Structure 1
Amino acid sequence: MKKWSISFLIIAILGFVVGCGNKKEESAEKVEKVKIGVVGENNEVWDYVKEQLKEENIEIELVKFTDYTQPNAALAEGEIDLNSFQHQIFLDNYNKDHDTDLVSIADTQIASLGIYSNKIKDVKELKEGAKIAIPNDLTNGGRALLLLQTAGLIKLDKTAAQTPTVKDITENKLNLKIEELDAAQTARALPDVDASLINSGMAVDAGFVPTEDAIFLEPIDETSKPYINIIVANGKDKDKEVFKKIIKAYQSDGTAKLIEEISKGSSTPAWTQDK
């Protein structure tokens, strides 16, 4: 009887050990990995979201790109699962030019475009023939020209709407010389120009605090809606449950506070605007 009891005890222990092993394997299998494309090195907000999602067995890998042309191509090719770097106008233009089906699944933040300079402290100090660097893509370039108009430096053809080009400049009293560069280069061009229009993320990467260092900052108001930054997925994947969990984690009170803190007011949580 003792031998039988010992045998049963050994079997029970082995069963418990195997069961624990299976549970660990099941737990490991439940971890969902999602690759998200971002632009630039400063990704504190996504790093925060990553930590929150670990509790839900979601592992986020941030894939960093250096310019705006790469993340959509990588998403369309299935190299990443989501990206978070652009606004709706940029996405619409990309889909049109590349015949892709990339869709917005959530708003993130509104980040102001700014005019920066190493040579002057106010846009009113710009002189005749001053050199101005702007992004060379249609959407960010158009946004830059609209900001120059808001600053009172040029006037644009109204029919150009949200995507004017330099050809749509109808008035340029200072005869400003507009130089179109890749968006990633506008910050680096500062020593060679009188002023440069730099996207918020690129400005932060260059060491600027937009609300403190820009000589003119894009106002955030009802006209800002086309420039709300978004999370983007492939159309066929847009309803994945794991994406819904990522959106919920991003659009949280903790994330909203972090956005306002690290940007020092330069960026605003977009999902809170209508509340």
Structure 2
Amino acid sequence: MKKWLFPLFIVLSVLLGACSGNAKAVDEQATVKVGIRSSELRTWEYLKEQAEKEGIKIEIVNFSSAYDPNQALVEGEVDINAFQHVAYLESFNENTNSEVVPIGTTIIAPLGLYSSKYQALSEIPDGAQIAVPNDAPNWGRALLLLQEAGLLTVVDDFDGFGGEDKIKENPKNIEIVPVDGANAPRVMEDVAASVINNGVSLEAGLTLKDAIIHESQTAKPYINVIAAREQDKDKEIFQKIVEIYQSDETAAFIEETYQGNYLPINISLEELSTFKETYSNN
């Protein structure tokens, strides 16, 4: 009897060990680290709760403005991230020779022109200083907003990226002051107005209602995305998170929580890929 009990014990031990290993692998596979910035923390806390119902564990990694969540993604510190618009993502890839790709759209967070000195565009004097974010995509985005406001016009071959050479006409002799985007609210006292990213403005206690002017929700290059490494873009678990984000329930949560400052957007990646056409239409 002992002769066959011992081999049976060995087989059972191996099977139990394999099952335990598989369970561990499933647990690890079902845990996704998501890199974000604090402006969307409430959304991702909500998504974390919804994902748990689907058997997915989300670990939120909240990065400060000092560290780019794209770099964390490239280095494997997070599995996906959700903090940027598609124009910024393209700029990151070009500057770092990386392959981070969008896997789903999330929101538009409209850029606004804010001032502690003036209430209307007509009050902004000739020669006024206007602060803009100093990274190329958001600098370009700011120039388009100032063009929409009638303060300047961009060059004919505008590519969406900012710079001193991207202004074609400047009838009011506006002086553009590039600053770190996170500091744009702090310099409002020193300039006539600041162009501030929506997430940064919310953190500073400003809403779109406080802006002199803000961009429309049709600004396709500035649709925010969930992003992953190229080799991971088709992972089922990531696609499930995108599906949860793009649900009607999440849209309702965002609209109620942010009171119109964030606008849920659900378009295909194919449509998103045409975002550069927006520049040629200006």
Q: Which TM-score band applies after superposition, normalised by the shorter structure? A: 0.7 to 0.9
Matched, 1:220 2:250: no
Aligned to 2:204: 206
Contact 1:40 1:202 in 2 (8 A): no
Partner of residue 277, structure 2: none
Unaligned runs of 5+ in 1: 1-18
> 1:99-157: CA deviations, max 9, x gaps?
11111100001111000111111121101221111011110000001100000001111
Return closer, same or farther for 1:218/1:259 CA change in 2, 3 Å cut-off. same
* Residue from 257, 260, 269 that aligns with 1:265: 260
Question: CA offset at residue 235 of structure 1?
Answer: 0.6
Please give the alpha-carbon distance, in whole angstroms, between the structure 2 residues aligned to 1:189 and 1:241.
44
Q: Separation in 2 of the partners of 1:64 and 1:123?
A: 36
- After superposition, the CA RMSD in angstroms is 2.3
In the superposition, relative to structure 1, how do residues 188 and 213 fare at CA in structure 2: closer, same or farther (>3 Å)?
Answer: same
Measure, in 1, the Cα distance between the counterparts of 2:267 and 2:78: 28
Paired letter, 1:271 = N
Q: Does 1:81 align with 2:76?
A: no
Residues 113 and 197 of structure 1 are in contact (CA less than 8 Å); yes or no, is this contact kept in structure 2? yes
Q: Is the 8 A contact 1:30 1:57 kept in 2?
A: no
Once the two structures are overlaid, the 10-residue window that deviates more, 240-249 or 140-149, is 240-249
Distance, in Å, in 2 between the alignment partners of 1:50 and 1:232 is 17
- Against the structure 1 CA distance between its residues 245 and 119, is the aligned structure 2 distance closer, same or farther, given a 3 Å change threshold? same
| CA shift digits 1:24-63 (9 cap, x unpaired) | x949953621111112355211111110011122121221
Counterpart secondary structure, 1:43: helix
TM-score using structure 1 length: 0.84
Partner of 1:33: 31
Does the C-alpha gap of structure 1 residues 192 and 104 become closer, same or farther in structure 2, counting only changes over 3 Å?
Answer: same
- Structure 2: runs of 5 or more not aligned: 1-15, 272-282
Aligned residues: 250
Q: Tell me the residue number matched to 2:237.
A: 242
Residue 4 (structure 2) aligns with:
none
Task: Check whether the contact 1:42–1:204 (CA below 8 A) recurs between aligned residues.
Answer: no
Contact persistence 1:68–1:183 (CA under 8 A): no
Task: Answer yes or no: is 1:145 the counterpart of 2:140.
Answer: no
Output the TM-score relative to the length of structure 2: 0.82
Aligned to 1:101: 99
**CA 1:42 to 1:232, structure 2 compared with 1: closer, same or farther past 3 Å?**
closer
SS at match of 2:157: helix
Deviation at 1:165, TM superposition (A): 2.1
CA contact (8 A) 2:39 2:200 kept: no
Conservation of the 8 A alpha-carbon contact between 2:32 and 2:56: yes
Q: What is the identity percentage for the equivalent residue pairs of Structure 1 and Structure 2?
A: 42
**Match of residue 51 from structure 2:** 53
SS in 2 for 1:62: strand
- SS of equivalent residue, structure 2 residue 168: strand
- Aligned-pair CA distance for 1:79: 0.7
| 4+ runs deviating over 6 angstroms | none
Task: Verify the 8 A CA contact 2:138 2:162 in the aligned structure 1.
Answer: no
Letter in 2 for 1:185: N
Residue pair 1:41, 1:64 contacting (<8 A) in 2 also: no
Distance in 1 between residues matched to 2:118 and 2:132, nearest whole Å: 17
CA distance in 2, matches of 1:253, 1:126: 41
Give the whole-Å Cα distance in 2 for the aligned partners of 1:201 and 1:214.
13
In structure 2, distance between residues paired with 1:100 and 1:164:
21
State the SS of the aligned residue for 1:196: strand
Per the TM alignment, residue 251 of structure 1 is displaced from its structure 2 partner at its CA by 0.8
The 8 Å contact of residues 39 and 199 in structure 2, kept in 1 or not, is answered as no
Tell me the residue number matched to 1:194: 192
**Which amino acid in 2 is paired with 1:44?**
R
Q: Please say if residues 129 and 176 of structure 2, whose CA atoms lie closer than 8 Å, have aligned partners that are also in contact.
A: yes
Q: Aligned partner of 1:219: which letter?
A: S
